[in-house]
Structure 1
Amino acid sequence: RYPEARFFGLDISAEMLETAAAAIARENRSGRVTLALGDATNFDAGTLYGVARFDRIFVSYSLSMIPGWEKTVSAALAALAPGGSLHVVDFGQQEGLPRWFRALLRGWLKRFHVAPRESLREVLESESERTGATFHFRTLYRGYAWLGVIGAAR
């Protein structure tokens, strides 16, 4: 849909990057996607990609697995271009789901070292206020997931 769009992926796991690279190659998108090994809590877009700022940054179901995840939000906001936006989706608190299902899901996630971040909304909101950005937040699927969007000032 956007043939001029370029994409950049970051992961701390070389194995995950190998899997992503194979999927990208299968779809003949290698020329549009650049992958880098790095820590989302402290990365330099210029060094990793030769790009100073991004129009959109997406963090999908990963903050719940990153120690010191709050630093990822700060690093992403620092890498946004003026007028850009940070989109974060991750596990919510499952507040609208039946208690038995919530307990089962939490047990399953814990097996994979996934911990839904209870303070996700507050951290995103605080960071948006600190940077003078707009903030929108939605609960999805009865709390299964949370979606936050921070729009950087122009």
Structure 2
Amino acid sequence: MKTSKSKYVIMLAAFIAVMVATLIRKHQPRQEKERARQEQREELADNKRDSLPGRRDPAKPPSDEPNRPEGFNRRSEKLIFTKHARCRMGCRHIDEAEVRDILLNGRINDRKSEPAARPDPKYALEGKTKDGQEVRIIFAPSDRGMVVITVIDLDTDWPCNCK
């Protein structure tokens, strides 16, 4: 009698092991397929970005190009600073003149920009301030002027209590 019980236990354990192995195999290809699809999407996005006509020369200001959307005007007369931007500027010791200089002369970081965002496109411009800080400033063109959303120091993590 003991042998027949142990046979059933062994058979049950073998059945469970087969079921677990089957489930693992069944889900593993799905994960691999999803990973492959994600890699393919990223590769297509990179290829699309690299093959866009009129790729810009990083040394040339983006607003000087004929293919640049008209919504971004580097020479906007009026800068509108959000409360958050003012706070970040204070924490990072960056003044309005430095912000305007980055707007005029900074290079657009395409990966951090959202020119197609609706309703408000955003442009991330990077450059050095007069005191050598490497910064990224997020600008959003609007009908009232150029909105400064935030100011980021790329090298130093300044203590700041901005919300």
- Normalising by structure 1, what TM-score? 0.27
**Structure with the higher fraction of residues in strand conformation:** 1
Higher helix share: 2
**Rg comparison, structure with higher value:** 2
